Amino acid sequence: MKWRSVRAAAVVAAMLLVGGMVACSDDQASDLLDQGTEAIVRNAVAGAGEAAFEDEGVEVEGNLDCEATSTGGAERIEVSCTGTSVDGEELAIEGEAETGASEGNDDVSGSFVGTVDGEEVFQEDCLGQGC
């Protein structure tokens, strides 16, 4: 499904971060690490969130649009996603990812709530195929 593209994006982001951090100050390197981690988490939650909605019988139209913000030095990432179902319903995921507690390569641990038109359809502590 979309897991390979998420994994590929994570590898590319990690390579760019390592290359960019070689010539940076400690603060700049930390900022780059936070930004890279946010991007990886944002993409992973988008893919895993779409699968979580589909597990609940909600077909996602296109892709979820996710934002991620580091709240604890890239250890805790606040995530907010929006999208639309093929039936025109408003989809949302709100949560917090824990970057050091991944269950597997494509899984994201944390606390996530998915809603359809404002009504909760799932509450998970892990998103992904291996959860």
Per residue in 28-80, pLDDT (tens digit) is 555 656 677 888 889 999 999 999 999 999 999 999 999 998 866 667 889 99
The per-residue pLDDT for 36 is 78
37 versus 82: the higher-pLDDT residue is 82
120 versus 16: the higher-pLDDT residue is 120
13 versus 62: the higher-pLDDT residue is 62
The per-residue pLDDT for 70 is 83
Lowest average pLDDT, out of 13-17, 48-52, 118-122, goes to: 13-17
- Residue-range domain boundaries for the chain: 3-127
* Gap between the Cα atoms of 25 and 27, Å rounded: 5
In this prediction the pTM is: 0.74
Query: Residues with Cβ < 8 Å from 113, sequence gap 6 or more?
Result: 93, 94, 95, 120, 122, 123
Residue 107's pLDDT band (cuts 50, 70, 90)? confident
Yes or no: say if 61 and 83 are a contact pair by the CB < 8 Å rule. yes
The per-residue pLDDT for 60 is 98
52 burial class (0-12, 13-18, 19+ CB within 10 angstroms)?
Answer: buried
